[in-house]
Amino acid sequence: MTENYYHSYSRTSNFPPSEGYGDYTEETREESEDGTTTYHYTKSSGDEVFLHVRHDLKNQPPPSFELSNCQGKKRALLIGINYTGTPNELKGCINDVHNVKNFLTTLYGFQEEDMVILTDDQEEPQLIPTRANILAAMEWLVHDANPNDSFFFHYSGHGGSVKDISGDEDDGYDETIYPVDFQEFDGESGQIIDDDMHDIMVRPLCAGCRLTAIFDSCHSATALDLPYIYSTHGVIKEMNLFKDAGKGLLTAGVAYLQGDKMGAFSSMKDTAMRLFNARDVGEQNRQQNSSPADVIMFSGCKDDQTSADSQEAGKATGAMSYAFTSTLRENPNQSYHMLLNSVRDILRNKYEQRPQMSSSHPIDVNLMFVC
C-alpha cells in the first residue's frame, strides 16, 4: 500500500522526526525546485508513505474556523433519485432517504417539519428532484445560518464527472450529480457541478455553523470541493500524482494500439498538464475553498470510483448510506477517525469502493462526531 500525504508545517513543528514516523522507517528524502521536501518511509509489511512538506508555506497561518456544537437550529435536505422507468434506473435511492430521515430524527433530534425531501416518486411538483428544485432546496438549507446551527445534506443517486473549465480541479475534472431531468438539457448542462454546490451550500456559511454532507453516488470524493481529505490513518492526503499519471498513460497506450493517434496524443497531453498543475492547484484550492464554517463530508467513493446500489437485509439501498447509518446506530459515540474506518470496514469485504472523508478546515479527527 502506498500513501501520499501533503502538509505545510509551522516553525515550531517537531517534524520530520529524525528516527522515523511511528513504526515507519525513513528511507530517502528529496528536495525539489518548488521548495517541497519528499520523505519516503517504509514499513516491515511493505507499506510505503510519501510525505510532501512545503517549507515555503510554513509561515502561513492555518485557516481560521470555528466548530459547531450543533445545538442551534437543525435543517436537513434529503435527495433520493431512482430514475424510475429510464435506462439509468436505480433501486435503493428513495429507500436511502427514508432510512436517513429516520436516522436523523431518532439519533440527532432533527424534526420532520425542518426537512425538505426530494424523491422522484413524489406527487407534488416542487418535491420532484429536478435541477431547479435541487438548487432551490440547497439555498433553503443554508439560508439564515448562525453559529452552532446544524445542517444536513444527503444525496443518493447518479454521480459523474465532466471536464473542468475553471482550472480548480487537481485531476482536471469537476464532479457532478444528476437531477432526475438532466436529459432535458443540452450536453452536460443538466448536471450540477461541484463548484456550484460549494458556492451554494458552503461559501455562505458563517463561522461556527455545521454542514454535514453525505454523497452516496459515483465519483463523489470531492463533490463539495472541500480542500482537506483524510486517510484512514487520520492524516490529510495528497493526491498520488504518479498513480494518476500511470492511468493517463495507459489510456494513451490503448488509444494508440487502437489506431487513434490523435486520442493518444490528447491523453498524454492531458496527463502532462495534470502533473504540471496538480500540486499548485491543490494548494490554491486549500486557500480558496477553506471555510470558517464547520463543514464535514462523507462520500461513497473516490473520484475515480463507482458507488454501489446494493441489497442489505433484503432491501435495496445505497452501500454508503447503509454503512454510515448502520455504524452510528450501533455506536453513536465515534470519533471522525473511527467513523471513517467503521464505514470502510462494513464495505470492504463486499465492494471495491473506498468511502472518503473531507472537510472545509483541518480537523482533529479524534473529536467525537456530532451533527
- Between CA 321 and CA 343 the distance in angstroms is 10
The yes-or-no verdict on residue 7 having pLDDT over 70 is no
Q: Is the pLDDT of residue 365 over 90?
A: yes
Which of 119 and 363 is assigned the larger pLDDT?
Answer: 119
Q: Which residues are catalytic?
A: 158, 218
Of residues 54 and 68, which shows the higher confidence score? 68
Return the amino acid letter for 223.
A
Number of H helices, E strands in the chain: 7, 16
- pLDDT for 73 equals 98
| pLDDT of the residue at 256 | 41
Question: Could you tell me what percent of the chain has a pLDDT over 70?
Answer: 65
pLDDT value at 147 more than 90: yes
Over range 72-92, report the average pLDDT.
96
Task: Over range 150-157, report the average pLDDT.
Answer: 98
pLDDT digits (tens, 9 = 90+) for 296-345: 999 887 667 666 666 676 788 888 999 999 999 999 999 999 999 999 99
Backbone torsions φ then ψ of 288, nearest 5 degrees: -80, -35
- Chain centroid to CA 350: 21
- CA 79 – CA 118 distance, rounded (Å): 5
Pick the range with the lowest mean pLDDT from 34-43, 119-128, 198-207, 288-297: 34-43
Q: Between residues 5 and 36, which one has the greater pLDDT?
A: 36
**Which residues, other chains included, contact 188 with Cβ-Cβ below 8 Å and sequence gap of 6+?**
162, 176
Please check the confidence at residue 55 and state whether its pLDDT lies above 60.
Answer: no
Reported as a pLDDT band with limits 50, 70 and 90, residue 244 is very low
Mean pLDDT, all residues of the chain: 79
User: In this structure, what C-alpha cell is assigned to residue 4?
Assistant: 501520499
Judged against a pLDDT cut of 90, whether residue 11 lies above it is answered with no
**Among candidate residues 307, 304, 343, the one with its CA nearest the CA of residue 323:** 343
**What pLDDT does residue 42 have?**
65
Asked whether 340 and 230 are in contact (CB, 8 A), the reply is yes
Checking if the pLDDT of 350 tops 80, the result is yes
Higher pLDDT, 313 or 17: 313
Amino acid 58: pLDDT = 45
The residue ranking higher by pLDDT, 169 or 228, is 228
Query: What is the spatial distance between Cα 172 and Cα 147, in angstroms, rounded to a whole number?
Result: 34
Find the mean pLDDT for residues 91-103.
97
Q: Distance between CA 227 and CA 355 in Å, rounded?
A: 16
**With bands split at pLDDT 50, 70 and 90, how would you rate the model's confidence at 290?**
confident
> So what's the pLDDT on residue 340?
95
**pLDDT, tens digit, for every residue of 175-207?**
999 999 999 999 899 999 999 999 999 999 999
Q: Could you give phi then psi for residue 350, rounded to 5 degrees?
A: -115, -20
pLDDT above 90 (res 76): yes
pLDDT confidence of residue 31: 74
What is the model's pLDDT at position 218?
81
Per-residue model confidence (pLDDT) at position 303: 66
Residue 117 has pLDDT above 70, yes or no: yes
Q: What is the mean pLDDT of residues 43-62?
A: 54
**236 pLDDT more than 70:** yes
